[in-house]
Homo-oligomer: A and B are copies of this chain.
Amino acid sequence: MSKKITSREVDYSTWYNDIVQHADLAENSGVRGCMVIKPYGYAIWEKMQAELDKKFKATGHQNAYFPLFIPKSYFSKEASHVDGFAKECAVVTHYRLKTSDDGKEIVVDESAKLEEELIVRPTSETIIWDTYRKWIQSYRDLPLLINQWANVVRWEMRTRLFLRTAEFLWQEGHTAHATKDEAIEETEKMINVYADFAQDFMAMPVIIGLKSESERFAGALETYCIEALMQDGKALQAGTSHFLGQNFAKAFDVKYASKEGKQEYVWATSWGVSTRLMGALIMTHSDDKGLVLPPKLAPFQVVIVPIYRNEDQLKEINKSVDSLKSLLEEKGVSVKYDSRDTHKPGWKFAEYELKGVPIRLAVGMRDLENGTIEIARRDTLEKETVSIKGVENKIVMLLEEIQENLYSKAKSFRASNTFEANSYEEFKQIIKKGGFVYAHWDGTNATELKIKNETKATIRCIPQEPSEENGVCMISGDHSERRVLFAKAY
């Protein structure tokens, strides 16, 4: 029952798994590649959902729900999409089980075979655009701004909790527009919504950019992404927003009558983030003692641990804690008071450190006498004893400070792990150690592939910034207009 966390130095990958497991975030299930998201982990995901949902609604989107299953034939309708998606997926072929003839087991009833197989959605463009055909007739029906919160399944061979699982939870926005410009504007708006969320709530700095052709979403004309740098120097793609052009409108025959009465194909976008964000959150802030959570996403921001020898002492401490708890809750701070007598204070300290609770308060008998309380910050591990009077104001400020500190810490980590390479030799040396590398590239798939094969690094994005800078591709020597962002990636 030891909850020792392997250090990052010793084994980064085990460190990650230890945190996911010991902080009670998620675990593998009896179903290959499918995870169980445990209550503490799910509570963080709920906070993410709530904030994202608010942002989607504030930008005019509505939620809806589309079927889990997609008829196989739908995938064939958009040629590049089927290549990217319909291959590794869960296929439903039958709709009934029966008791075997010998009465001993449950078997598939072969007489209940579906005429057309159903695919468990790996993403919903096809079923949604099949529906939009019925919803869109006129320019008055546009824009159509819809989001779905759902589970999706991609049959991944190598899975890791949160980062790559066969089933995962996500949201997928699917919008339809009258013009190309409007669709591009939407695509860009949503990648900025994701970037703002990453920075303001996850305290995770991200680079916004475009994917190169080879990394684009199957069926998209452009894919925008946000890329974050993890503590092992690998990049993690945290969200994508796709400009789909008229590909799906053409595949599913979705046209609208313009104001001038002309029939036009609709322009589309789609965009999504998933429970993968949980992996990004963990790897951005956590340390060798366990999870570290930004206050804005912590299931509870403050935990209070009483230190007592007997029931009478606990009763006295309760009085003091109850009023502090109310004061904090009035100020919008979420508080857990753990007065269980089944666990010792030391165990509780370790437990909440492991679970990344931003602030821990401890109150003992001497504190009651002195009118003090002990405050411990999870981010810096600093402790101090302060007067309990007015401490609620201090805590509100401290939560803000922790949120900001985590962001600036992550930002300086990224800064000190971001490099420019001016030759392929230099590039290879840097990439071996990890980090973000800005380098010139000639824009060809061939060069990109060569670099990937030789170094495992990929173009994470063609970033919005820095802006243009003439140079030559580090491989071919051909002209390049800007540096692109390389890294090894999750």
Residues of A within 8 A of B (CB): 27, 29-31, 34-39, 42-43, 45-46, 62-76, 82, 86-98, 105-106, 108, 117-120, 127, 130-131, 134, 140, 146, 150-151, 153, 155, 167, 169, 342
Cβ-defined contact, A65 with B36, below 8 A? yes
> Given A82-B106, A91-B92, A155-B96, are A67 and B120 also a contact pair (CB < 8 Å)?
no
Cβ-defined contact, A70 with B106, below 8 A? no
Cβ-defined contact, A95 with B88, below 8 A? yes
Cβ-defined contact, B131 with A67, below 8 A? no
Residues of B with C-beta under 8 A to A90: 69, 92, 94-95, 118
A-B contact sample (16 more), CB < 8 A, given A31-B118, A72-B97, A91-B95: A29-B67, A29-B130, A30-B71, A31-B70, A34-B69, A35-B67, A36-B131, A39-B63, A39-B146, A42-B63, A73-B106, A86-B97, A89-B97, A92-B120, A93-B94, A96-B155
Residues of B with C-beta under 8 A to A151: 68, 150-151
Partner of A42, one of B62, B91, B108, B118: B62
Top-9 shortest CB links A-B: A34-B67, A39-B62, A37-B65, A91-B94, A95-B155, A31-B67, A93-B93, A90-B92, A39-B64
Residues of B with C-beta under 8 A to A88: 95-96
Chain B residue nearest to A165 in the complex (CB): B67
- CB proximity of A125 to chain B, nearest CB, Å: 14
Residues of B with C-beta under 8 A to A118: 31, 90
Residues of B with C-beta under 8 A to A66: 29, 36
Cβ-defined contact, B91 with A97, below 8 A? yes
- CB proximity of A345 to chain B, nearest CB, Å: 16
Cβ-defined contact, A30 with B169, below 8 A? no
- CB proximity of A15 to chain B, nearest CB, Å: 22
Cβ-defined contact, A106 with B34, below 8 A? no
Cβ-defined contact, A31 with B93, below 8 A? no
- CB proximity of A65 to chain B, nearest CB, Å: 4
Chain B residue nearest to A299 in the complex (CB): B62
Cβ-defined contact, B34 with A68, below 8 A? yes
- CB proximity of A378 to chain B, nearest CB, Å: 21
Chain B residue nearest to A155 in the complex (CB): B95
Residues of B with C-beta under 8 A to A96: 87-89, 91, 155
Cβ contacts A to B, 23 pairs, < 8 Å? A27-B131, A30-B74, A30-B131, A31-B69, A31-B71, A36-B67, A39-B63, A43-B62, A43-B63, A68-B120, A72-B97, A75-B106, A86-B97, A89-B97, A90-B94, A90-B95, A91-B95, A91-B108, A92-B93, A92-B120, A93-B93, A140-B342, A150-B151
